[in-house]
Amino acid sequence: MRILTYLDQHQMRLGYLNCAALVATRQLDSHGSLVRRLEELLFNPAGGSHPIIGQYKRVVTSRKSPEMPHQIWLNDPEVGDSGYQLAPDRCYKIIQWARNVDVIGQTYALSELGVLLKGLLIDAGAQHPDIGKRLNPFALWRRRTIALAHLYLLLRADILLPFLLATQPSAQALAASGSQSQRPSTEISGLRPQSLLEAIDNLVAAIGDDLPIDQALLLKEIRNMQTRFKSPKALNHHYRPRRQYLLDLKLLEKSSPSKAGTEQLYLPTVAGARVAEACQELLQHPLEQDRLLEEKFFGWVARIYDVPVRPPGGDITRLEYFARGFPLVGRDIGFTPGRTVAVAGCLLALEDGVLIEVEHMFRMMREMAKSPFRPFLHYSGGSRLDCEFLIKIDVNPLLEAIRDPSTKVVTSEPEN
């Protein structure tokens, strides 16, 4: 179980995580170097020598605007309310945040999930030229897969998010109350700072007394958060960023005040109201956070966002998406962690309306080690104890073999 124990107003938009991923690399790096490159990307209209930064700067400078790049991106109508804008001397806060959510590792190199996020951003331009010409790191929904990758990152890093949404009315209650303009404000008060305190209370109750020893310190930190949040300032520092993440992910929306001077309401969207039902098992067993994400995440996403999906039909389809996910995260030299490839493949599958879970990908790869496709799959490491492995894939030959009707392989039963 993991929770974000530090947040502040400089970490308000998920697009800043995209920017951090774009300027980071897989090589060892330094804090100062990363901060300088992030400042160049966000605040230097003249562009830079980094090929990715240059690509984005050409988009920005073509607007002939005196505004800084991140201001132009945030003012894009697709992004919505620009919210808090970062100051140049606070870029180090974004690097700190990226480390806390495991986009950047302890050595300031990209984590495996950071590599995936960067790969999706670059692939959006390469595979979708109409998007690439106007790619905006803050417009998460120009390619849905990028937004869903952020949801995966946040659910791994912060167990409080689903509990925060669970303090709001269910989808059935919202439907019964009619459209947003007809929702009775006396019955649906919307998300407020006090909702975060309620979410923490519910989390502590769900954890219960049967706590593994390795989670005891985390529970102590959660109780410390409860004490700190008695200060309205400390509460807002944690509440407002989380609220903005939910807005960015279209799980929350602003409701126009009925009259001047009334409080701004933040109400769950229909998707946001489905979170409590879809993630019920996570809300009941927060200590199983990692396992449940491996086994259930993409099913949750399909229910939350009402994505029409179909089962893959067998291991051949899973293997094809695994192979398609490899170029997004594959190392130029050496082997790549199989779990990262599996997450990439599952995201691409959902984009095509195919529902595959990460755990099913791993089950499939164990089968493929003894299949006719074995010559194209190069395994390294792993054990029967942890089911982890590193891998290299001959992508194009493998895809050709998959599509060859003469290749026969026994597949496992389709997953429900």
Following CA atoms 98, 51, 116, 375 in sequence, which dihedral angle do they give, to the nearest 10 degrees? -150
Same domain flag for 325 and 393: yes
Same domain flag for 253 and 358: no
Cβ-Cβ contacts under 8 Å for 287 (sequence gap 6 or more) = 1, 207, 211, 212, 215
Q: Rounded to 5 degrees, what are φ and ψ at 367?
A: -70, -40
Residue 307 pLDDT > 60 = yes
28 within some domain: yes
pLDDT at residue number 187 = 46
64 within some domain: yes
CATH number for 381: 1.10.10
Same domain flag for 134 and 18: yes
pLDDT at residue number 127 = 60
265-292: pLDDT as tens digits? 889 999 999 999 999 999 999 999 999 9
* Mean of all residue pLDDT scores within the chain: 83
Least confident of 28-32, 137-141, 351-355, 409-413: 409-413
Domain count, the chain: 3
CA atoms within 13 A on the CB side of 103: 27
265 within some domain: yes
Domain that holds residue 267: 160-291
Given a contact cutoff of 8 angstroms between Cβ atoms, the answer to whether 293 and 156 are in contact is: yes
pLDDT at residue number 174 = 58
Pairing of strands 390-393, 336-337: antiparallel
Task: Round to whole Å and give the CA distance between 326 and 389.
Answer: 14
Given a contact cutoff of 8 angstroms between Cβ atoms, the answer to whether 357 and 380 are in contact is: no
Question: Higher model confidence: residue 107 or residue 212?
Answer: 107
Question: Higher model confidence: residue 227 or residue 51?
Answer: 227
Q: What percent of the chain has pLDDT over 70?
A: 80
Task: Round to whole Å and give the CA distance between 281 and 293.
Answer: 11
Task: Round to whole Å and give the CA distance between 76 and 401.
Answer: 44
Q: Last residue of some domain: 291, 320, 343?
A: 291
pLDDT level of residue 134 (50, 70, 90 thresholds): low
Least confident of 213-217, 252-256, 272-276, 343-347: 213-217
Residues 38-45: contacts with CB under 8 Å, at least 24 apart: 38/91, 38/94, 38/95, 39/88, 39/91, 41/69, 42/68, 42/69, 42/70, 42/86, 42/88, 42/91, 43/68, 43/69, 43/70, 43/88, 44/69, 45/69
pLDDT at residue number 163 = 95
155 within some domain: no
4 within some domain: no
Same domain flag for 191 and 277: yes
Question: Higher model confidence: residue 231 or residue 185?
Answer: 231
pLDDT at residue number 416 = 44
pLDDT at residue number 65 = 46
pLDDT at residue number 184 = 41
Same domain flag for 138 and 179: no
Same domain flag for 165 and 118: no
Q: Last residue of some domain: 236, 264, 291?
A: 291
176 within some domain: yes
300-317: average pLDDT: 94
Please state the separation of Cα 244 from the chain's center in Å.
14
81-101: pLDDT as tens digits? 766 778 888 999 999 999 999
